[in-house]
Structure 1
């Protein structure tokens, strides 16, 4: 049996396909299930091998790869948590019509128009603080089952700049964000403290604790994580009480050494997003630098 050794093996070429359509570039994307526009970025090489991703207000679809045959593009990914398949067909007017499947349980259609200037709303302006007093009162169990006040965990870092990481171990975008926080910790050392609040897929504490410890080992993180609850966003919003809404996992809350919230960042653009990832890093570093310099 031939061993699959490249993206060429992912999709069979379409026989007698016409000249490949021009999918490379930046696209404004409308998914059937969402009221908010997304951005698609695609590249196609001389062998018709395609790669790219979709950026949304809650995160990105990470590394997609596939091929172009005539007017058709097929892309897919499997990251251990999600299996995504995208089909796209170039229309006569230069727009795209497509289908999206997630696993064997979800399907929706999507359309796109080429837009080199497509942008998403500012991720720092999507989520607001509604009740900072509620943050002061939050208590969750650590992975050993010890009730721990969130602000006490932040204070234990003794850092000038602090990040409260609202995440789930089941979430690939959260893994990207955690890796970024590990990198930032390496840069800033003790000046940056991180505490995680894990919202998991079940309310089984033992299972959630085990998942968090596996996440730590896989990511290479070592900060305190508290088991905060179940991943349902409405329930997470109610549990936390200090945000207007948990819009996405991850959500990063930036606090100074007095535990005063300085910014909230919703979602995360991972390394698959290229320039967006780099620009995001610059903005996050600017906030951390400002807190350290105060």
Structure 2
């Protein structure tokens, strides 16, 4: 009997040992990842670290931005990295210092994903060239996006250089491309970003000191870029792009919060107060930037007689799905104002919920309502922290507008 017990213990120990050896482990430190976009490999940098509870986290790095991805799991020779904010994940096989797999989205049925690969201890986002361009990209640029139909939209680029590293963003009327990072090539600049939703790759070639040509690669296609240096570069006034229909001055909606309770902008809680209504989606990076700004702002200002309501249009017409995606954001940003489920993303849903407006051209779109319930201004898009002085200007204008409405 004793001999049987000893044999059992030995076998159990061997099995446990094999299991431990078979369980993959991501090496702590810096990795260079790549996603295949339009026959190009779009690079990004991430860091692997062990948390206090011995769990593993992956931190995406783009310029000054850090996006922590927790709840990393391992199975056999594979690793799964959840990207909970965007209902997506990376699943890859680990082979020593290399990963190979796919970036997938849960909300897409039978998603084939985007090819992914990564290598440990590679810190350069792009190859460093020995003779980088002497032309500096620092400053503001008019950047024209030219699509396949040759239609052009004018946007604004803001960039700065630190040694050979370039950081910055591109502002559009719908929002900004957030934190781009890269370096100089022998003829121009390469920039990329991946914060969990869409990989971006920009390749620029200088024609001269004040002009460049380029390409912008995304999973949706390739856009031609034409850049012209302009220290006065600016976008169309974001307060002129969305308007109330003739004859309408107020919004009227009644929608469920994440507990299923109906909340209306006409409720007593919002009477005689300045109200900010933010149109958002958990899938929208610029919306998350706005939420990250609004949440602490509301905590500091709610006692002044101001309220915020978020109207979330999600990828599925399912309150339970919306609750799962939005709750993570509410917890992450410590949101203390109401977030209501407005339905599934789409123009028809928007017109049903907000029949008073002419169109919704961008997420987020923010309504400023005075104490009498009248919509005074509508701001389209959001210029986030990656845009530098544009972000500071937005905050100044935002607070000035709220102050003036509170004084009325």
Taking structure 1 as the reference length, the TM-score comes to 0.90
Normalized per residue, the structure richer in strand is: 2
Contact 1:72 1:88 in 2 (8 A): yes
- 1:30 equivalent among 133, 144, 156: 144
Specify the alignment match of 1:256 in structure 2.
370
- 1:139 equivalent among 254, 259, 272: 254
3-state DSSP class of the match of 1:3? strand
* Count of residues paired in the alignment: 288
Displacement after TM superposition at 1:258 (Å): 2.2
Matches within 5 A, 1:96-175: 96-102=212-218, 104-130=219-245, 132=248, 135-136=251-252, 138-152=253-267, 155-157=268-270, 160-175=273-288
Taking structure 2 as the reference length, the TM-score comes to 0.66
Please identify, of 156-165 and 52-61, the stretch whose mean Cα deviation from structure 2 is larger.
156-165
Specify the alignment match of 2:96 in structure 1.
none
Distance in 1, matches of 2:358 and 2:380, equals 12
Query: Which contiguous aligned blocks of 4+ residues in structure 1 show a shift greater than 6 angstroms?
Result: none
Normalized per residue, the structure richer in helix is: 1
Specify the alignment match of 1:216 in structure 2.
330
Contact 1:159 1:193 in 2 (8 A): no
Check 1:74–1:233 CA distance in 2 against 1; reply closer, same or farther (3 A cut): farther
RMSD: 2.2
Displacement after TM superposition at 1:114 (Å): 0.6
Distance in 1, matches of 2:131 and 2:257, equals 57
Distance in 1, matches of 2:132 and 2:259, equals 61
Please identify, of 178-187 and 215-224, the stretch whose mean Cα deviation from structure 2 is larger.
178-187
Displacement after TM superposition at 1:36 (Å): 2.8
Displacement after TM superposition at 1:249 (Å): 0.5
Distance in 2, matches of 1:284 and 1:134, equals 20
Structure (1 or 2) with the larger CA radius of gyration: 2
Specify the alignment match of 2:313 in structure 1.
199
Greater relative CO, 1 or 2 (CA 8 Å, sep 6+): 1
Distance in 2, matches of 1:233 and 1:156, equals 29
Distance in 2, matches of 1:149 and 1:174, equals 22
Contact 1:140 1:150 in 2 (8 A): no
